[in-house]
Protein backbone atom coordinates (compact mmCIF):
# COMPACT_ATOMS: atom_id res chain seq x y z
CA UNK A 1 0.00 0.00 0.00
CA UNK A 2 2.84 2.39 0.81
CA UNK A 3 4.43 1.88 -2.61
CA UNK A 4 1.09 2.39 -4.33
CA UNK A 5 0.52 5.59 -2.34
CA UNK A 6 3.92 6.99 -3.25
CA UNK A 7 3.57 6.14 -6.94
CA UNK A 8 0.07 7.60 -7.18
CA UNK A 9 1.14 10.74 -5.32
CA UNK A 10 4.10 11.20 -7.67
CA UNK A 11 1.87 10.63 -10.69
CA UNK A 12 -0.76 13.14 -9.55
CA UNK A 13 1.95 15.67 -8.68
CA UNK A 14 3.36 15.35 -12.20
CA UNK A 15 -0.09 15.73 -13.78
CA UNK A 16 -0.85 18.73 -11.57
CA UNK A 17 2.47 20.34 -12.48
CA UNK A 18 1.63 19.93 -16.15
CA UNK A 19 -1.79 21.56 -15.76
CA UNK A 20 -0.37 24.39 -13.66
CA UNK A 21 2.22 25.05 -16.37
CA UNK A 22 -0.55 24.98 -18.98
CA UNK A 23 -2.54 27.49 -16.90
CA UNK A 24 0.40 29.90 -16.99
CA UNK A 25 0.75 29.52 -20.74
CA UNK A 26 -2.97 30.03 -21.38
CA UNK A 27 -3.20 33.06 -19.10
CA UNK A 28 0.08 34.90 -19.68
CA UNK A 29 1.79 33.57 -22.80
CA UNK A 30 -0.94 32.79 -25.34
CA UNK A 31 -2.87 36.11 -25.23
CA UNK A 32 -1.34 38.94 -27.22
CA UNK A 33 -2.51 41.44 -24.62
CA UNK A 34 -3.59 40.88 -21.04
CA UNK A 35 -4.35 42.85 -17.91
CA UNK A 36 -2.38 42.13 -14.79
CA UNK A 37 1.23 41.69 -13.78
CA UNK A 38 3.09 38.76 -15.34
CA UNK A 39 5.37 37.38 -12.61
CA UNK A 40 7.21 35.12 -15.05
CA UNK A 41 7.03 31.35 -15.02
CA UNK A 42 9.40 31.00 -12.08
CA UNK A 43 7.66 33.72 -10.13
CA UNK A 44 4.29 32.15 -10.88
CA UNK A 45 5.40 28.79 -9.48
CA UNK A 46 7.00 30.51 -6.50
CA UNK A 47 3.80 32.41 -5.71
CA UNK A 48 1.80 29.18 -5.89
CA UNK A 49 4.26 27.46 -3.56
CA UNK A 50 3.69 30.26 -1.03
CA UNK A 51 -0.08 29.97 -1.45
CA UNK A 52 -0.42 33.33 -3.17
CA UNK A 53 -2.34 33.88 -6.40
CA UNK A 54 -1.91 37.63 -6.55
CA UNK A 55 -4.71 40.13 -7.08
CA UNK A 56 -7.28 40.62 -9.77
CA UNK A 57 -7.52 43.69 -11.95
CA UNK A 58 -9.03 46.57 -9.97
CA UNK A 59 -12.60 47.25 -11.19
CA UNK A 60 -12.22 51.03 -10.79
CA UNK A 61 -9.31 53.43 -10.31
CA UNK A 62 -8.56 53.95 -6.64
CA UNK A 63 -10.38 50.76 -5.60
CA UNK A 64 -8.31 48.03 -4.01
CA UNK A 65 -8.07 44.97 -6.26
CA UNK A 66 -9.63 41.88 -4.70
CA UNK A 67 -7.49 38.90 -3.75
CA UNK A 68 -7.58 36.16 -6.35
CA UNK A 69 -7.47 33.54 -3.63
CA UNK A 70 -10.72 34.83 -2.13
CA UNK A 71 -12.36 35.02 -5.56
CA UNK A 72 -11.23 31.51 -6.46
CA UNK A 73 -12.33 30.13 -3.10
CA UNK A 74 -15.86 31.49 -3.53
CA UNK A 75 -16.02 30.24 -7.12
CA UNK A 76 -14.76 26.78 -6.08
CA UNK A 77 -17.57 26.48 -3.53
CA UNK A 78 -20.17 27.26 -6.20
CA UNK A 79 -18.65 24.75 -8.63
CA UNK A 80 -18.44 21.99 -6.03
CA UNK A 81 -22.05 22.59 -4.97
CA UNK A 82 -23.23 22.51 -8.57
CA UNK A 83 -21.31 19.31 -9.37
CA UNK A 84 -22.43 17.63 -6.14
CA UNK A 85 -26.09 18.09 -7.05
CA UNK A 86 -25.30 17.02 -10.60
CA UNK A 87 -23.73 13.81 -9.27
CA UNK A 88 -26.74 13.02 -7.10
CA UNK A 89 -29.12 13.51 -10.01
CA UNK A 90 -26.94 11.62 -12.51
CA UNK A 91 -26.32 8.62 -10.24
CA UNK A 92 -29.95 8.43 -9.14
CA UNK A 93 -31.34 8.59 -12.66
CA UNK A 94 -28.63 6.27 -13.97
CA UNK A 95 -29.45 3.72 -11.27
CA UNK A 96 -33.13 3.94 -12.24
CA UNK A 97 -32.20 3.31 -15.88
CA UNK A 98 -30.05 0.34 -14.88
CA UNK A 99 -32.83 -1.12 -12.70
CA UNK A 100 -35.36 -0.82 -15.52
CA UNK A 101 -32.91 -2.36 -17.99
CA UNK A 102 -32.14 -5.37 -15.79
CA UNK A 103 -35.50 -5.96 -14.08
CA UNK A 104 -37.99 -4.90 -16.77
CA UNK A 105 -37.19 -6.48 -20.15
CA UNK A 106 -40.28 -4.87 -21.68
CA UNK A 107 -38.86 -1.40 -21.05
CA UNK A 108 -35.28 -2.26 -21.96
CA UNK A 109 -35.37 -0.87 -25.51
CA UNK A 110 -37.16 2.30 -24.37
CA UNK A 111 -34.68 2.92 -21.56
CA UNK A 112 -31.73 2.33 -23.85
CA UNK A 113 -33.19 4.70 -26.41
CA UNK A 114 -33.72 7.42 -23.81
CA UNK A 115 -30.21 6.87 -22.47
CA UNK A 116 -28.76 7.16 -25.96
CA UNK A 117 -30.61 10.43 -26.48
CA UNK A 118 -29.31 11.78 -23.18
CA UNK A 119 -25.73 10.89 -24.09
CA UNK A 120 -26.14 12.48 -27.53
CA UNK A 121 -27.38 15.76 -26.07
CA UNK A 122 -24.74 18.41 -25.51
CA UNK A 123 -25.11 19.79 -21.96
CA UNK A 124 -24.69 23.34 -23.29
CA UNK A 125 -27.69 23.11 -25.63
CA UNK A 126 -29.75 21.32 -23.01
CA UNK A 127 -28.97 24.10 -20.57
CA UNK A 128 -29.88 26.79 -23.09
CA UNK A 129 -33.27 25.18 -23.78
CA UNK A 130 -34.03 24.73 -20.07
CA UNK A 131 -33.00 28.30 -19.29
CA UNK A 132 -35.03 29.69 -22.20
CA UNK A 133 -38.26 27.79 -21.59
CA UNK A 134 -38.42 26.88 -17.89
CA UNK A 135 -36.68 30.03 -16.79
CA UNK A 136 -37.17 32.96 -19.15
CA UNK A 137 -40.50 32.06 -20.83
CA UNK A 138 -42.46 29.99 -18.32
CA UNK A 139 -40.85 31.27 -15.10
CA UNK A 140 -40.97 27.83 -13.52
CA UNK A 141 -37.66 28.43 -11.78
CA UNK A 142 -35.59 31.50 -11.07
CA UNK A 143 -32.51 32.09 -13.19
CA UNK A 144 -29.33 33.35 -11.57
CA UNK A 145 -27.46 32.33 -8.46
CA UNK A 146 -28.70 32.61 -4.89
CA UNK A 147 -26.13 32.08 -2.10
CA UNK A 148 -26.84 30.46 1.23
CA UNK A 149 -26.06 33.65 3.14
CA UNK A 150 -27.30 37.15 2.41
CA UNK A 151 -25.03 39.17 0.18
CA UNK A 152 -25.47 42.65 -1.34
CA UNK A 153 -24.49 41.22 -4.73
CA UNK A 154 -27.52 38.92 -4.93
CA UNK A 155 -31.25 39.65 -4.45
CA UNK A 156 -31.97 36.29 -2.83
CA UNK A 157 -30.46 33.85 -0.36
CA UNK A 158 -31.33 30.85 1.77
CA UNK A 159 -31.26 27.08 1.43
CA UNK A 160 -34.36 26.80 -0.76
CA UNK A 161 -33.33 29.58 -3.12
CA UNK A 162 -29.78 28.19 -3.28
CA UNK A 163 -30.99 24.73 -4.27
CA UNK A 164 -33.44 26.17 -6.79
CA UNK A 165 -30.68 28.17 -8.49
CA UNK A 166 -28.60 25.00 -8.93
CA UNK A 167 -31.45 22.71 -10.01
CA UNK A 168 -31.65 23.44 -13.75
CA UNK A 169 -27.89 23.40 -14.43
CA UNK A 170 -27.61 20.16 -12.43
CA UNK A 171 -30.36 18.58 -14.56
CA UNK A 172 -28.81 19.85 -17.80
CA UNK A 173 -25.45 18.27 -16.99
CA UNK A 174 -26.83 15.32 -15.03
CA UNK A 175 -28.93 13.79 -17.80
CA UNK A 176 -25.80 13.50 -19.96
CA UNK A 177 -23.96 11.48 -17.34
CA UNK A 178 -27.14 9.57 -16.38
CA UNK A 179 -27.25 8.01 -19.83
CA UNK A 180 -23.66 6.81 -19.39
CA UNK A 181 -24.12 5.58 -15.84
CA UNK A 182 -27.30 3.70 -16.70
CA UNK A 183 -25.41 1.43 -19.09
CA UNK A 184 -22.40 1.19 -16.80
CA UNK A 185 -24.45 0.16 -13.77
CA UNK A 186 -26.52 -2.35 -15.76
CA UNK A 187 -23.36 -4.01 -17.09
CA UNK A 188 -21.82 -3.99 -13.60
CA UNK A 189 -24.94 -5.64 -12.16
CA UNK A 190 -24.80 -8.44 -14.73
CA UNK A 191 -21.09 -8.96 -14.22
CA UNK A 192 -21.49 -8.93 -10.46
CA UNK A 193 -24.27 -11.52 -10.67
CA UNK A 194 -22.03 -13.79 -12.76
CA UNK A 195 -19.19 -13.42 -10.27
CA UNK A 196 -21.57 -14.15 -7.40
CA UNK A 197 -22.80 -17.36 -9.02
CA UNK A 198 -19.25 -18.41 -9.80
CA UNK A 199 -18.19 -17.85 -6.20
CA UNK A 200 -21.12 -19.94 -4.98
CA UNK A 201 -20.09 -22.77 -7.30
CA UNK A 202 -16.59 -22.57 -5.82
CA UNK A 203 -18.04 -23.09 -2.35
CA UNK A 204 -17.77 -19.53 -1.07
CA UNK A 205 -20.20 -18.27 1.56
CA UNK A 206 -23.19 -16.55 -0.06
CA UNK A 207 -23.15 -13.46 2.17
CA UNK A 208 -19.41 -13.02 1.75
CA UNK A 209 -19.64 -13.45 -2.04
CA UNK A 210 -22.39 -10.83 -2.24
CA UNK A 211 -20.40 -8.35 -0.14
CA UNK A 212 -17.29 -8.92 -2.25
CA UNK A 213 -19.17 -8.30 -5.50
CA UNK A 214 -20.82 -5.16 -4.16
CA UNK A 215 -17.54 -3.82 -2.79
CA UNK A 216 -15.62 -4.51 -5.99
CA UNK A 217 -18.11 -2.91 -8.36
CA UNK A 218 -19.00 -0.13 -5.95
CA UNK A 219 -15.37 0.93 -5.71
CA UNK A 220 -15.00 0.65 -9.49
CA UNK A 221 -17.98 2.99 -9.89
CA UNK A 222 -16.43 5.42 -7.40
CA UNK A 223 -13.28 5.52 -9.54
CA UNK A 224 -15.45 6.15 -12.59
CA UNK A 225 -17.08 9.10 -10.83
CA UNK A 226 -13.73 10.55 -9.82
CA UNK A 227 -12.49 10.37 -13.42
CA UNK A 228 -15.65 12.04 -14.69
CA UNK A 229 -15.27 14.86 -12.14
CA UNK A 230 -12.64 16.56 -14.28
CA UNK A 231 -14.84 16.31 -17.38
CA UNK A 232 -17.78 17.67 -15.41
CA UNK A 233 -15.76 20.76 -14.49
CA UNK A 234 -15.14 21.40 -18.18
CA UNK A 235 -18.73 20.80 -19.24
CA UNK A 236 -20.02 22.78 -16.28
CA UNK A 237 -18.04 25.86 -17.29
CA UNK A 238 -20.47 26.64 -20.11
CA UNK A 239 -23.53 25.87 -17.99
CA UNK A 240 -22.28 28.20 -15.27
CA UNK A 241 -22.13 30.96 -17.88
CA UNK A 242 -25.62 30.12 -19.19
CA UNK A 243 -27.27 30.10 -15.75
CA UNK A 244 -25.16 32.85 -14.18
CA UNK A 245 -23.46 30.68 -11.60
CA UNK A 246 -20.30 32.41 -10.29
CA UNK A 247 -18.23 29.21 -10.38
CA UNK A 248 -14.76 28.46 -11.67
CA UNK A 249 -15.89 27.91 -15.25
CA UNK A 250 -17.75 31.21 -15.49
CA UNK A 251 -14.81 32.95 -13.82
CA UNK A 252 -12.43 31.58 -16.44
CA UNK A 253 -14.71 32.67 -19.28
CA UNK A 254 -15.03 36.22 -17.98
CA UNK A 255 -11.34 36.43 -17.06
CA UNK A 256 -10.50 35.54 -20.66
CA UNK A 257 -11.34 39.14 -21.57
CA UNK A 258 -8.05 40.25 -20.05
CA UNK A 259 -7.68 39.44 -16.34
CA UNK A 260 -4.73 37.06 -16.69
CA UNK A 261 -4.02 36.49 -12.96
CA UNK A 262 -7.65 35.60 -12.29
CA UNK A 263 -7.73 33.21 -15.25
CA UNK A 264 -4.54 31.51 -14.09
CA UNK A 265 -5.81 31.22 -10.52
CA UNK A 266 -9.13 29.72 -11.64
CA UNK A 267 -7.44 27.19 -13.91
CA UNK A 268 -5.05 26.19 -11.13
CA UNK A 269 -7.95 25.78 -8.69
CA UNK A 270 -9.85 23.56 -11.14
CA UNK A 271 -6.72 21.46 -11.69
CA UNK A 272 -6.14 21.07 -7.95
CA UNK A 273 -9.75 20.00 -7.38
CA UNK A 274 -9.66 17.42 -10.20
CA UNK A 275 -6.29 15.97 -9.13
CA UNK A 276 -7.25 15.98 -5.45
CA UNK A 277 -10.55 14.15 -5.95
CA UNK A 278 -8.94 11.55 -8.22
CA UNK A 279 -6.07 10.91 -5.80
CA UNK A 280 -8.35 10.67 -2.76
CA UNK A 281 -10.70 8.17 -4.43
CA UNK A 282 -7.76 6.08 -5.71
CA UNK A 283 -6.28 5.84 -2.22
CA UNK A 284 -9.60 4.93 -0.60
CA UNK A 285 -10.30 2.24 -3.22
CA UNK A 286 -6.80 0.78 -2.85
CA UNK A 287 -7.15 0.72 0.94
CA UNK A 288 -10.52 -1.05 0.76
CA UNK A 289 -9.59 -3.60 -1.90
CA UNK A 290 -6.02 -4.68 -2.78
CA UNK A 291 -7.09 -5.53 -6.34
CA UNK A 292 -7.30 -1.78 -7.03
CA UNK A 293 -3.59 -1.26 -6.33
CA UNK A 294 -2.73 -1.26 -10.01
CA UNK A 295 -0.71 1.43 -11.71
Provide the pLDDT for residue 254.
Answer: 82
How many residues does this entry show for the chain? 295
Q: What is the DSSP string of 116-146?
A: HHHHHS-HHHHHHHHIIIIIIIS-SS--S--
* Contacts of 151 by beta carbon, 8 Å cutoff, 6+ apart: 157
Q: Do the beta carbons of residue 267 and residue 75 sit within 8 Å? A: no
Per-residue pLDDT of the chain (295 residues; tens, 9 = 90+): 888 888 888 988 999 999 999 998 888 888 776 666 778 888 888 888 887 777 776 454 445 567 788 888 889 999 999 999 999 999 999 999 999 988 888 888 888 899 888 888 888 888 888 888 888 778 777 788 999 998 888 888 899 999 989 999 999 999 999 999 999 999 999 998 898 888 888 888 888 888 888 899 999 999 999 999 989 998 899 899 999 999 998 888 888 777 888 888 899 999 999 999 999 999 998 888 888 887 5
pLDDT for 278:
92
Q: What is the pTM of this model?
A: 0.89
Task: Choose among 101, 123, 119, 253: nearest CA to 188.
Answer: 101
Q: Which pLDDT belongs to residue 61?
A: 47
Q: What would the 3-class secondary structure string for 227-269 be?
A: HHHHHHHHHHHHHHHHHCCCCHHHHHHHHCCCEHHHHHHHHHH
Q: Are 251 and 71 in contact (CB under 8 A)?
A: yes
Question: The domain at 2-27+70-292 falls in which architecture?
Answer: Orthogonal Bundle (1.10)
Closest CA to 264 of 8, 2, 5, 55: 55
Query: ∠ CA(124), CA(128), CA(130), 5° rounding?
Result: 115
Task: Please give the pLDDT value at position 82.
Answer: 96
Amino acid sequence: MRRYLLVRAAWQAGVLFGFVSLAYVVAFVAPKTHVGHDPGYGGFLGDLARGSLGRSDAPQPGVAAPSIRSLVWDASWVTLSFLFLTGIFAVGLGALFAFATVRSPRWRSVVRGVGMIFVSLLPLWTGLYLAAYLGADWHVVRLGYCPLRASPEYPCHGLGSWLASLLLPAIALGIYFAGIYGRWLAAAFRKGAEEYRRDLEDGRDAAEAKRAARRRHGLAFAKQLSRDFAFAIGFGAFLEAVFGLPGLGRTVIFAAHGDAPLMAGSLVAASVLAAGVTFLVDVVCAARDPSFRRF
